[in-house]
Amino acid sequence: MHHLTRIVALPLCALVFIACGGDAEPDANGDEPSNGLTAFEEEHGIGPFTVAVTLEDPIDPEKAEMGQHVFEANCEACHMLDESFVGPELGTVLDRRSPTFVLNMIMNPEEMTRRHPVVQEMLREYPLIMPYQNISEEEALAILEYLRTVH
């Protein structure tokens, strides 16, 4: 865990920035301030997946296995399936978020962190900003398939 201290410390500066810039006032109706996101983006996140992905198809075991490899190589440093670590536990993420939200977070974490209120809320608990890792669309879908198998 010690090797993570350095990467955790740096984004904290960025975090102060986000926290200071984000305090818009509620509008006249007392509603939450408009954050510039579409209803789709609110639910499904911001990124390359602009059409909601559904999980109606049965799990594809080969795809899930590929996803497990990508997960072990790129995600396990920060995520566990059954408890919080550097980032949230991901075994039950599909209870909290739509599949498309998960995909957009995997492929576009920086913009998600900068613009999505749900991710900004997570920053209170997990002050590290999830880094961009150049995960392809195919790999992201494979990770999603893997997360379905452990869900």
Report the residue number, 29 or 54, with the smaller CB distance to ligand HEC.
54
Question: Which range in 19-27, 36-44, 45-53, 82-90 contacts ligand HEC by CB under 6 A?
Answer: 82-90
Selection from 37, 27, 7 nearest residue 111 by Cα: 37
Site membership for ligand HEC, residue 69 (CB under 6 A): no
Question: Which range in 23-31, 41-49, 52-60, 123-131 contacts ligand HEC by CB under 6 A?
Answer: 123-131
Which of 14, 42, 68, 126 binds ligand HEC (CB under 6 A)? It is 126
For 141, counting Cβ atoms within 10 Å of its Cβ (0-12 exposed, 13-18 middle, 19+ buried), the class is buried
Question: Which range in 18-26, 43-51, 52-60, 92-100 contacts ligand HEC by CB under 6 A?
Answer: 92-100
Selection from 134, 122, 146, 139 nearest residue 11 by Cα: 122
Selection from 70, 72, 137 nearest residue 100 by Cα: 137
